[in-house]
Each structure stands twice: as C-alpha cells, then as structure tokens.
Structure 1
Amino acid sequence: MRAVLADYPHVRALKEDAVFDFVEVNPVHKAFAAMVREQAYDVCEMAIVTYLQARAEGKPLLLLPVVLRSRFQHDHIVCRADDPLDVSDLAGKRIGVRTYAQTTGVWLRGILADEYGVPLDKVQWVSIEDGHLTEYVDPPAVERAPDGSKLVDLLHAGELDAVIMGNDLPDDPRLRPLIPDAKAAARSWYERTHAVPINHMVVIREEHADRREELTQLFVEAKQHAETGAIDMTPIGLEANRPALELITRYAYEQGLVPNRLPVDDLFTPRGAAS
C-alpha cells in the first residue's frame, strides 16, 4: 500500500519497519490535493477539513480514527505587537488566512465566534491560496490577495489587521497573539470542551474499507514507541476524538465549507452504508 505520512515519532516505527510503500512529500500538505482529486495513495495524512469537504463531494475516501497532528490554536492568530487591536474589535477588520478552508482557520473562526462573540460575517477574510478540492471555491465574501502575496508582509504593511497562520507561524517580536493569554485560554477551552483541536488525521481509499481495523491497529502499535504528554495530542479511536469532531463538523458547516453538517459516525463509514 502506497502511503504518505509526515515523519512523526508516533509513526516512525511504521517507516522503520517499511509497513507501507512510503512516498515522501514535503511539506505533507502538498499530498492532500492528489489524494482528494485522484486518490493517488492508499493511505494518506490529510487535514480534517479537507476530508470533510471530500466526503461532502462524494470522494471515495474513508477516515480512520487516527490523529497525526493537532495543536491548540489560540495563539495562531496574530497581529502587530504595536497595534492595540483587541479580539472584541474584529468587526470590520481584515484578517488573512492561507486559504479560507485551512483547518487552522476553521478552528480559529469557530473559537472566535463561540468564545469571544466575533461576528464572522462582519470580518473581511483575505486568502492567498486555493483549497485542495477543485470543486471548492471561496465564498463570495472572501477576498483574494494579489498573486505572490505573503500574509506576514501584508500584515506589516498595514493591509491586514491580523493573520491566521499554521506551521509557518513566525517567531517574530514584531507580532503578538491577538487572543490575550492565548496559552491559558487554550487550556481553559480544553478543560471545558475536552476537545483536542485536530489538524491532520489518516484517510484511506474507500476500496480498503474492510481493512479499517487492521490499519488502525498498526497506528496504535506504532504509537506505543512514542511518548505521550499530559494531554494526548494524537488520540486514536472514535470516542477519544468525538468532542473535537463534533466541533469541527459544526464549524465547517456554519462557515460554508460543506453544504450540510456531517454526522461524526458517518465519517468512518463507507458512503453507501452511511446514514
């Protein structure tokens, strides 16, 4: 089985034992489009929102209850350090995000709305890239920055008031998290929601549906060779991930990324058998 997975401690045993025929794609998100458009691999890491959109479009893919990457998102929306902008003042402001469908952006918009009362429809969202699915286009209200634009440059130039960033979040003293006490706010949010904000999970081609349990078990065994912190940021299993999946399916629907809210249990069920 051809597989694309980034090099995490909790999957390293799979690579060392050559469990799959691994294809190296760096950065790993560049594999997502080929997987949703062509089902180019048998097993593939994928952003959860990309999978939700693929599922809504009827792509022959199936989710495994295996988290590969997650992080608390509160500190990933930043503004200029010298800007007194407050999270309560976002109506009418311009916020950049790599693509409107980016999973980190979906999490943060949901958190801003739920936790801070931000009216998402009063914010001007600015994107710089397309989503992974050819069928997806940004909502009409999303503005596209000029080709070649970089979010941080637009922020420093004053063309954006804040930006949402993923792994490319810079260590820049000229920037600060928009959400006050972001790490403490994230911990409080977790204690209330019991949700680990999922970025990437594992998907397989639907033709391998009868091997779901076997494949999931491979990830369970590989994870035993890696350390888990006080909070397990790579949970495996439907119930362990249900709180986060209930939130992200709601956020994706409310933000116009999927036409209907997808039932969590159906995400792991072949399309013909889903409710």
Structure 2
Amino acid sequence: MPAPYPTSGPVTLKTNLADSALSAALKDGRVSSPIVRFDFCGPPVASNGFKAMVREGAFDAGELAIVTYLQAKTYGKPLTLLPVAVVGRFQHNTISYMDRGKPMAPKDLEGRRVAVRAYTQTTGAWARGILQHEYGVDLSRIAWITTDDPHLAEFTDPANVVRVDKREKPLDQRLIDGEADAGILGPESPKHEKARRLIADHAAAAQAWHAKYGCTHINHMFVLNSELARQRPDVAAEVYRMLADSKAAAGPSKGVDPLPFGVENVARSIEIVNQYAHDQGIIPRPFAVSELFDDATRKLGAC
C-alpha cells in the first residue's frame, strides 16, 4: 500500500501511465510541478498494472480502464476518478472474423463463439454494447472465450464465459484455427490475409455513432488514491493541470478529440459505457456521473 501522504508540500506519486503522445511531455520533463513528482514505476503496458492497482493499491495514481473503475467503485476500492481520458478510440473496427467463404454480419454471432481477452475488458464492453444497441445482437446467445480473469477478484464471470489457457494458444490463433467464430481482439488482430472486420465500413459506422451520441469511446481514465484526493485537493488539481498541459504539448488531434477532459466533456461517454456494463452484468447498477467524482474533482476543467 502507498505510504501516508504529507498534508502539505511536495508529494511523489507511484504512477502507472503508459508512454503515449499525451504522457510524453510529462515523462520527458517539459511539464513539471513544484508540488507533484511522478514516479513512473508501472509496467510498460499499463493494463498489466490494473489488477495490482485495484487489488493491492499498488499505485498512488495512474490510468485505469473505465469499466475496471466502475467495478472498483462497486466494490468500494479507494480510488477517485479525475475527468481525464487517457486512452480512447472508436471500437467499431475491433471485431473480426475469418473469411471462410461466406461474409458474416453482426446478427450471425448469435449461437457462436467470440474471443475476447477478458469478459470485463473495456474494449469488449464497448464492442458488445455496439453489437447489442446498434445491430440488435442478443449477447446472451454468444459464448465468450476468454484467457484472463477479471481485474476485480470479487467479480465472477457469467455462465456463458469460457476460460481457455493462453499459454496453450493465444486467442488470435484460436480464431484463425476456427476455435472461435469471431473475436474482439483489436483493430489489427489477427494478422492474417483472411481476417475481416465484422463491421465492414467501420469508419462510416464510427462517424454515424458519433453523430448519434455526440461523444467518443473512452477506454482509460486517470485515477488517484482516494485518501490522497481527500487530503490534498491541491494535488488533484495540479495533476489535472499537468495532464492537460501534457496533452496540449502533443498538439491538437485530427478530427474528433478521442481524449476529452472535464466532467462535461467525459460525461456522455461514461453514461453510455456505464449502461453497457450494467446491461452485460458487469456492474449491478449504473452509476450517475455525479457519483463518480468528488467535490474537488467534479470542478476540474470547469470554466
């Protein structure tokens, strides 16, 4: 567990934050602070530190998948959300299948097997929500083939989730070999000449989704240890400022900003993935956005 925090003055925060355009200026020193120092001690792939963050309190600060955070909130983990998107993208191009002579449409997944790293993975939750709400897919009629357990030890996967051993064969190879009929494996997997995107014109579908809902798909947000956030609202505000300055140093994004900051700007995306997670049995009830922020973090980024 992190050590007690000083009530004033500088703090050093054990931090799990991957290398990215957003974090570059923080990590190379272009953005700094007289009161906050980040000890970037997390693994190179930030998601590999999520389990330690929610189970052991291994970090004072860092990125966390939004669905993992919603589960952490459900189970009373001492984490406080900042209105900062660290990873985001539209998920329409993450669902793939192998061309075996007949095109596959979303409804064709019913009664079949779909591979996804973990049932509670945020990318999977977004993709399943798209399938259910935009294409009418009955998710209960799909067998979900996974390799990883949930980040939260308290959660038990639904009955239609089947765990396989990734040491025997990775999920992309299982899809290639026909042991899965489709996979939510990311925009570039599997790397095979017969791999096809389930949503063929995924770019147009993403544009249509954005026009309909007015937001992007947030994957990871930034969190602080709740005791730190409670004791040191000045530190929470300074962390937000540093992240915003680091994002600004990366330059403007092309097209829709995938990494919104501020409660007003992240709210719609959180509301939707919150509902998706509830629909899919990942959380017992959807949270109001106001429940996810405290008095100090709720004001961050407000005009």
TM-score by length of 1: 0.93
Unaligned stretches of 5+ residues in structure 1: 271-275
Residue 239 (structure 2) pairs with residue 215 (structure 1): yes
Correspondence for 1:273:
none
Which amino acid is the alignment partner of residue 186 of structure 1? A
1:97–1:105 Cα contact (<8 Å) kept: yes
* Deviation of 1:164 (Å): 0.4
Which amino acid is the alignment partner of residue 263 of structure 1? A
Residue 224 (structure 2) pairs with residue 204 (structure 1): yes
Correspondence for 2:290:
265
* Deviation of 1:167 (Å): 7.0
Residue 129 (structure 2) pairs with residue 104 (structure 1): no
Percent identical among aligned pairs is: 41
Which amino acid is the alignment partner of residue 156 of structure 1? I
Measured in 1, the distance between the counterparts of 2:270 and 2:149 equals 24
* Deviation of 1:57 (Å): 0.3
Measured in 2, the distance between the counterparts of 1:158 and 1:222 equals 44
Correspondence for 2:255:
230
| Superposition map of 1:131-170 within 5 A | 131-146=150-165, 148=167, 149-166=169-186, 169-170=189-190
Correspondence for 1:23:
41
* Deviation of 1:203 (Å): 0.8
Measured in 1, the distance between the counterparts of 2:193 and 2:208 equals 25
Measured in 1, the distance between the counterparts of 2:255 and 2:93 equals 20
Structure 1 vs Structure 2 CA RMSD: 1.7
Can you list the C-alpha shifts for 1:137-163, whole angstroms capped at 9, x where unaligned?
211221122452311111122121100
Which amino acid is the alignment partner of residue 263 of structure 2? L
Q: Describe the SS at the equivalent of 2:196.
A: strand
Which amino acid is the alignment partner of residue 253 of structure 1? H
Correspondence for 2:144:
125
Which amino acid is the alignment partner of residue 182 of structure 2? A
User: 1-10 vs 208-217, which deviates more?
Assistant: 208-217
Residue 19 (structure 2) pairs with residue 7 (structure 1): yes
The list of structure 1 runs, each at least 4 consecutive aligned residues, that deviate by more than 4 angstroms after superposition, is none
Measured in 2, the distance between the counterparts of 1:118 and 1:167 equals 20
Q: Describe the SS at the equivalent of 1:75.
A: coil
Unaligned stretches of 5+ residues in structure 2: 1-12, 296-303
Can you list the C-alpha shifts for 1:199-235, whole angstroms capped at 9, x where unaligned?
1111110012223322211111111101222211111
Measured in 1, the distance between the counterparts of 2:186 and 2:166 equals 20
Measured in 2, the distance between the counterparts of 1:213 and 1:128 equals 38
| Superposition map of 1:235-254 within 5 A | 235-254=260-279
User: 211-220 vs 230-239, which deviates more?
Assistant: 211-220
Number of aligned residues: 271
Measured in 2, the distance between the counterparts of 1:26 and 1:236 equals 24
TM-score by length of 2: 0.85
Can you list the C-alpha shifts for 1:87-130, whole angstroms capped at 9, x where unaligned?
12221011111000010100010000000000111111111111
Question: Structure 1 235/258 Cα, relative in aligned 2: closer, same or farther at 3 Å?
Answer: same
1:44 to 48, 62, 69: 62
Measured in 2, the distance between the counterparts of 1:215 and 1:97 equals 33
Measured in 2, the distance between the counterparts of 1:249 and 1:215 equals 25
Measured in 2, the distance between the counterparts of 1:252 and 1:269 equals 22
2:110–2:138 Cα contact (<8 Å) kept: yes
Q: Describe the SS at the equivalent of 1:216.
A: helix
Can you list the C-alpha shifts for 1:48-101, whole angstroms capped at 9, x where unaligned?
111111110000001111111111101100000234222122210111110000
User: 64-73 vs 171-180, which deviates more?
Assistant: 171-180
* Deviation of 1:24 (Å): 4.1
2:92 to 67, 74, 84: 74
